[in-house]
Amino acid sequence: MPPDSASPPLHERLGDPPWHYWIARVVPMLYVTILTLMLPTILTQSFVVSDLGVNQDRRLQQHLRAISIKVLAHGEHIGSGVLLARQQQVYTAITNAHVIQATNAPFQLQTHDGQVYAAALVTPPSGQNRDLSILRFQSHDRTYTTAKLATASPRIGDRIWSAGFPSENGDPVEDRQSGATKVNLGLHIINAQIVQILPIAIAGGYSIGFDGSIRKGMSGGPSIDRSGELIGINGVHAHPLWNTPEMLENGTIASEALQQQINDYSWAIPIEFVKSYTRE
């Protein structure tokens, strides 16, 4: 018997209310259609955000490698430093005073391309007694990137990238000239967060506390913000075994609570103190 062309709709034949039919058939189709249209956009946006983060981190690391230098005395690694400025063939670099005071001249600076230059120690400006030292060298045939000094003050919660050359845990390599095995002290970069900014700096000028752990040998290295600008010079690492800073720049002793923070964080000298050392 041929089907009745005037037979009622399926939901009436099954005895279901009309809205049951729409929920069971139409809504899933709409959901699949919308998801199909939006999924490529959602995935693309996720990958774009991820790529931006990766690219930014890679760019900042490349910049740190360009401006970071290894400080040497008598050919041996004693600390880290930063290329601050260039005037024709003369480069100005900065490191920590305690790095320089731990040994004697002559000093050398090694750039990212492996070149080693004789460096002259510059007398600090009158009245400046922070933990900073200025060195200068000449490069006649090579040009180097120098740091861009930050113009805005850092804030608690800001992400920073700190770098330097640790004096331990390097990779063993063979010296081509002597054949002896030495340690390759590669640049170490940490991604950290500012957790404290002191209104009165610790003796030596340290007022930026961050949660990343710098290591011995990284003193004098740079800390930069997400735009690549230099915000400070590293110099005090967390949980020192001795010579824990206790005195503030105004001559008072740090409270017990502040002393605990000083022990728990790594510390950098802010860029405004660095600028006072570079003024002619």
* Per-residue tokens: 132: 């900073």
Q: What is the pLDDT of residues 128-148, one digit of tens each?
A: 889 999 999 999 999 999 999
- Planar angle of CA 114, 103, 123, nearest 5 degrees: 85
Residue 267 reports pLDDT greater than 90 = yes
66-278 folds as: Thrombin, subunit H (2.40.10)
Segments making up each domain of the chain, as ranges: 66-278
Amino acid present at 171? D
Identify whether the C-beta of residue 150 lies closer than 8 Å to the C-beta of residue 229: yes
Alpha helices (runs of H) in 173-218, residue ranges in sequence order: none
Q: What is the pLDDT of residues 106-123, one digit of tens each?
A: 999 999 999 999 999 999
Q: Say whether pTM exceeds 0.85.
A: no
Residue 3 reports pLDDT greater than 70 = no
Q: What is the pLDDT of residues 28-64, one digit of tens each?
A: 666 667 766 666 665 555 444 445 566 888 899 999 9
Residue 181 reports pLDDT greater than 50 = no
Banded pLDDT at 176 (limits 50, 70, 90): very low
